[in-house]
Amino acid sequence: MGNALAVGGLTNLPSVEVNFGDYGSDFDFVPRIQLVTKGKYVDQGKITPGHYGVPQGEDEILDLGDSIDILPLAVRNKALDTNSDPPVAVYDTADPLYGLIVERAGQKDSGCMWGPSFLVWERDTGEFYELFLGNKSGRVESKKFEPYLPVSEERAAKFGVEPKGPTALTLTSRYIQGRYNWHVPVVNRCSTPVENLPDDAFVVSQITRFLETKSDGAGEAKNAKAVKKSRSR
């Protein structure tokens, strides 16, 4: 297992460039963490609104509570269409389909989302997860993740900063009341370092796998046609 020194020394991690200023997986090869505010899991009493959870099937979700400590290890861009059959995930912002999904995300009940997708390590479960901040409130809060992400030696040299390892943060939520009521993620400083990572080689392998995941083009032509049709209305 790793330790605090090993985590602090993770400055040679693979990375891609994501412009956080733009924000106001296999389909997903790792389980996902999501902030739950309403829906079937709440209706079935599986989780409390405002808690973070890990879906484990159609009707089951692991309730992680209203506060989680995570170590953000990597980030990539992602556009997701859940209404396509099968769903389509695109990670390349230069892909025309990425732009179409982003445009469609502004339509009501489109099933489309876009934003930063983070690979994180969660302290209590000791597992890797994807945290996809694909709605407007998530994209806005995602900017606050940037100081906690690792800075590789290559990127440090490019931007004239010091390389550093990832830093733990605590995720909570805030309840928003308005025409619609929902919970939004909130980034907080974490006072206790996350030290229960696997060895550095395994962490690097997971990051590499995460960043090199190719867009899931299944149903791409069908989806692109549907998106174009919706634009012409």
Q: Measured between alpha carbons, how far is 8 from 76 in angstroms, rounded to an integer? A: 22
Count of other CB atoms within 10 angstroms of residue 16: 12
The pLDDT assigned to 22 comes to 59
Count of other CB atoms within 10 angstroms of residue 192: 9
Q: Quick one: DSSP state of residue 82?
A: S
What pTM did the predictor assign?
0.80
For tokens 């992400």, what's the residue?
149
Q: Digits of tens for pLDDT over the chain (233 positions)?
A: 333 334 556 666 766 666 665 554 334 468 999 999 999 999 999 999 999 999 997 889 999 999 999 999 999 999 999 988 888 999 999 999 999 999 999 898 899 999 999 999 999 999 999 999 999 999 999 999 999 999 988 888 988 889 999 999 999 999 998 778 889 999 999 989 898 999 999 999 999 999 998 886 544 434 444 444 433 33
Q: Where are the domains of the chain?
A: 4-12+29-223
